[in-house]
Structure formats: C-alpha cells, structure tokens
Amino acid sequence: MLTIGIDLGGTNIKGGLVHDTKGLLHTFSISTEAEKGKDHVIDRVAMAIRMAERKADGEIFGVGIGSPGVISLDRTTVSNPPNFPGWIQENLAEKLNQKTGLNCFVDNDANLMALGSSRFGAGKAFDSFIMVTLGTGVGGGIIFQRKLFRGATGGAAELGHVIVDSDGPNSNSPTKGGIEAYLGQRFMSALAWAEIKKRPDNPLYKQFAKNPAALEPVHLVNEADIGNALATELLRKSGEKLGIALVNYIHVLDIRKILVSGGVSRAGDYILRPARETAMKRLLEPYRYDFEIIYESLGNDAALLGAGCLPLEHQNI
C-alpha cells in the first residue's frame, strides 16, 4: 500500500513516498517560502504531494502531514504554527484534499516520530512505548496498544513540559522547571555555560569564552570523549533530570519502554545511563521491572515514515 508523508517545516517541506512494508521509496525537499503567507505555503505542500504522487506506480491511499502548531483532535486543522506569518487557523487537511483529491491528515512531529518508530523502527518490538525527542525542544509521543494516545483533545504527550523541579529554570514556555529547560538544546547549553564559566582552566572555557552562545551539547560530548570530567559531569546532571521526567511519565502511564531520538540523544550513554540509574532509583519497585531506554536510530526519517503511516492509522490499518 502506498502513501505520501510530508514534513512541513519553517524552511523546507520534505516529502516521501511511503510503502507500508518497504518504507521510504523516494524522498525530496522543496523550500517552504513561509514568508509569502499561508495560501502560498498550502500551494507548496500541494505541489510536494503531487511530486510524490508522480513517483508512485500505484494508487495513493492517503497523505499524512507533520506540522508545527496546535493540531485539532480530528487531525485536520492547524492553529498558530510558529514562524508561519499570517497563519492563525486553517483546515489544512480539507484544503489539501480539495487541491489534490487525496485523503489528508495532519499531526505533530513528535507524534509522527512515535508512529514511524512503531511501524518501521525500534518501536516495532513494543505494543506500547513512550517516544521522547531530544532536539531544539523536547517533545513526545505515546504509542498505546499500537495506536497514538492523543488524550481528550489531541494534545497528549507534551513531555518536554513535564516539571521535574517546581523552582527550576525557564524554557520557552510558562512551565518553569520542565525537562525541556534542562535538555532542550539551547537551555542545556546555557546551563552548562553557567558552570563552565566558573572554571576558566577548563578547555571548554577556553574554547567558548569569546562566544558562549556557540556552545552546543555536541561540544560537551566531544570533550567528554577525550576525558574532560566537567563535560561528563554536566551531561550526567542533564541525564539525571531526564530520569526524573521518565519516572513521571511511567507513574502516570505505566508504559515502561522509552524510546529516545533527536540530536541531543546522540550524547548516548553520557545522558542515558544516568537517566536510567536515576529512574531505577526513583521508580516504585514494581515499575522497574521491564523498564528500558532504547535509542531510536531512524533519525528524521521516522517523522516522514510516521506521516506516511497516518492515513493508515486513521483507518485502523
């Protein structure tokens, strides 16, 4: 069965032709041109859909679109996507259906990462799991009994905004002390710099004193790799906070398989080992059994694959 997956970003629209068992058959990218306004962007997405359709040697079952912004429970309408000037609220699915004649559905990136992983990645092994995406921000998706758990209005799994310290630092949200404030790329870097600047003897200080804003989690990983104990310590602290957040997810959901993906997750065991150790200490005893953190290696393909799975999931296929 063939579907089309679209990843609508502020800069580029990525597209893919997806086969339900073979995965991504063909991918491409065009510019979004968000500055030209909403109607133009919708035309660009319709164009991307037609580009993918042209590569298909059979009927297209439907189209899934990963989009920023708030998505309605019925997976049609996108409200207030950041970095899309003039876009308040739009029934994107209906508009695209009119333009392409194909059945279209919309969801957010982290949900689609979870769905893609569930059907093509590490998530295939589990009926239920929690996907945590560690990137610029921290996002999440919940797969429960092989379907996305969407909550009452479609907004479940805002996992980056689960609080681990009520008086903790700010992130991009009113949720002070949320896990994103510790692990979101920019916030993690800022917290790390606050420590590094106390240690002018450290190589990290010397490297970034002139431009602390250039510090990224990957630099901590590189330094940890060559034995910089401060770098290891800073990554460990972030990992411990992640462990606290995992305890919260698990005590609410009783889903004990955690999949992680996204740029920061490439810090691997520097973050995931302390996360695991902290969670194993803090989880109620029966919840430790079967608890596991797994790295999802599909990378960004997971979101495109997940978008392609969305029309199937919607029909319980």
User: Six-digit token pair at 72?
Assistant: 């309605």
The answer to the question of residue 251 lying near its own copies (CB under 8 A) is yes
At a CB cut-off of 8 Å and minimum separation 6, what does 199 contact?
A: 205, 230
Chosen residue from 58, 211, 226, 284 binding its own copies by CB under 8 A:
284
Pick from 39, 74, 127, 292 the residue near its own copies by CB under 8 A: 127
Placement of tokens 């901590």 in the chain: 220
Phi, psi torsion values for 27, nearest 5 degrees: -130, 160
Counting contacts by CB under 8 A, is residue 82 touching its own copies? no
CB of 89 to its own copies, least distance (A): 12
Residue 241 sits in the site that holds its own copies (CB under 8 A) = yes
* Residue 3 burial (CB count, 10 A): 26
Partner residues linked to 293 by β-bridges: 258
If one asks whether residue 70 binds its own copies (CB under 8 A), the answer comes out as yes
- Are the beta carbons of 263 and 78 closer than 8 angstroms? no
Among 22, 200, 285, 316, binds its own copies (CB under 8 A): 285
Is residue 159 a contact residue for its own copies (CB under 8 A)?
yes
Tokens 């998505």 correspond to: 71
Residue 138 tokens read as 């921290």
Shortest distance, position 243 Cβ to its own copies, whole Å:
9
* Nearest-approach distance from CB 113 to its own copies, in angstroms: 17
Vertex 82: Cα angle to 80 and 84 (nearest 5): 85
Tokens of 214: 């250039």
Contact 64, 4 (CB under 8 A): yes
Shortest distance in whole angstroms from residue 133 CB to its own copies:
15
Residue 163 binding its own copies, by CB under 8 A? yes
Q: Which residues here bind its own copies, judged by CB under 8 A?
A: 70, 127-128, 142, 144, 150-159, 161-167, 173-176, 240-241, 244, 247-249, 251-256, 281-287, 290
